[in-house]
Amino acid sequence: MNSKLNVDNIFYYQTVDSTNLTALKHFEEGAPSFSVIVAEEQKQGRGRLGRSWFSPRHNGLWFSLLLRPDNLSPENASPITLVTAAVLAAYFNEKINLPVKIKWPNDLLLGEKKVGGILTEMKAEQDRIIYLIIGIGINVNQQNEDFPNELRCKATSLAGESGIRFRCENLLPALLDELIKAYKLFLNQGFAPFKQRWEIYNVTLGRDISIIVTGVASEESIKGTALGITSGGALRLRDHRGVEQIIHSGEIK
Ligand code: BTN
């Protein structure tokens, strides 16, 4: 799959548990920043909030990027998920004419269904990020019957919505090119250069939503209108009392 990849450090696997976990092993062994870990198949693909991520052979792109930022504070790191979503959505819309949308914070949708997701994991000291691992899963060529029963009504693929079969070996280098350029810009200039692109492709802002926010010991559901996104990538929500809340992480139902 790696014939056209223009990346210095790519680790390519047929099968792994999870490319994020494999990226962590490479981090521990000293792999440099901007290393890419790609797998044909994940046996224990991981989603957000402890969920699993269906990652069969041949039909999708499952990969992770490892960053070792020189000088990034933990509070400035979180928009990287939104940067990733903005870059991917822009690529699919502008380069291959597929109307992929972003649902805050990390879902990529085609129509009402999820076509991709982003799992960002990090290790930080108090004022410095040690690593960021950005894991990206994109359903490329699955047909509806290829998904397990429980996913059929909520997952789709690029091919499932467009009727076009894509070549993963062409898509991956194009996406990596865009992402690596974007991460370099993000490390210099933060979220600002990406905010407008994120806003163009999101389906969250302006809607009345219900969001589950998980605390240390409890879960809270907050209802309100999604007003906007902060420069740090948090969601601005006007709740039923008219009070604006800033939500740093959560799941929109
Ligand atoms: C989500 O939407 O819940 C996030 C899904 C992220 C899936 C990708 S696939 C590549 C990388 N490795 C993993 O184990 N997960 C991410």
For the chain, how are helix, strand and coil distributed in percent, rounded to 5? 30, 35, 35
Which residue type, as a one-letter code, is found at position 103?
Answer: K
**Regions of the chain short of the pLDDT cut 50:** 2-3
Confidence at residue 5, expressed as pLDDT on a 0 to 100 scale: 61
| pLDDT score for 168 | 94
Tell me the pTM: 0.95
CA of 70 to the centre of ligand 1 (A): 25
Decide: 118 in ligand 1 pocket, CB within 6 A.
Answer: yes
Residue 114 to residue 101: CA distance in whole angstroms: 9
What are the contacts of 48-53 at 24+ separation with CB within 8 A? 48/106, 48/117, 48/119, 48/251, 49/214, 49/251, 53/117, 53/119, 53/137
Q: Supply the pLDDT for residue 4.
A: 60
Position 186 scores a pLDDT of 97
Whole-number pLDDT of residue 2: 46
Ligand 1 midpoint to CA 241 (Å)? 36
Q: Which pLDDT value is given to residue 20?
A: 98
CB of 156 within 8 A of CB of 99? no
119 Cβ closer than 6 Å to some ligand 1 atom: yes
Cα-to-centroid distance, 239 and ligand 1 (Å): 30
Q: At 135, is the secondary structure helix, strand, or coil?
A: strand
Residue 48 Cα to ligand 1 midpoint, Å, equals 7
Residue 129 phi/psi, 5-degree rounding, is: -80, 135
221 DSSP 8-state letter: E
